[in-house]
Amino acid sequence: MSRMTTHRTNTRRTTQRDTIVEVITQSPGPITVEQIHELAKKTIPSLGIATVYRTIKLLLENGTIQTVVLPDGLSRYESAALGHHHHFRCRACGNVFDLDICPVKLPKDMTLPGGYTVDDHELTFYGTCPNCQ
């Protein structure tokens, strides 16, 4: 009886986690906790925001997802499996989208004047997304 209960609890937790992972990986860009909650509720209407926070913490710890922090100060989350990419933030709706183009063409380990050796870069584009045009 108690084993049955444990099993059922684990299954439910796994389903919640899977749903949250799916919401994050299927999003066209990094999304906030509130957005994850809204989208995951379509699959699990009873899902509480506290569970979303807990699951995100766990997914960060086990390396499934990573945090994206833009100058608007909000933490957004995306799959940690994404390769080098950049973000586009829409000024109209505030959503952030992944761009798989990289316009930065630099030689590897380029040294800048002053002796700075560059091995990576971050770049965020701003403007209006297709939905808002």
Chain center to CA of 3:
35
Number of residues that bind Zn ion (CB under 5 A): 8
Instruction: Based on the shown chain and the rule CB under 5 A, indicate whether residue 106 belongs to the binding site for Zn ion.
Output: no
Q: Which amino acid is at 100?
A: D
Residue 104 near Zn ion by CB under 5 A:
yes
CB nearer to Zn ion: pick between 61 and 100 = 100
End-to-end CA distance of the chain: 57
The count of residues in the chain is 133
Q: Sketch the per residue contact string, 110 through 129, with Zn ion: x for CB under 5 A, - otherwise.
A: -------------------x
* Single residue of 40, 52, 65, 90 touching Zn ion by CB under 5 A: 90
Element (H, E) at 121: none
- Assigned token pair, 94: 């505030």
Query: Which residues would be at the binding site for Zn ion (CB under 5 A)?
Result: 90, 92-93, 102, 104, 129, 131-132
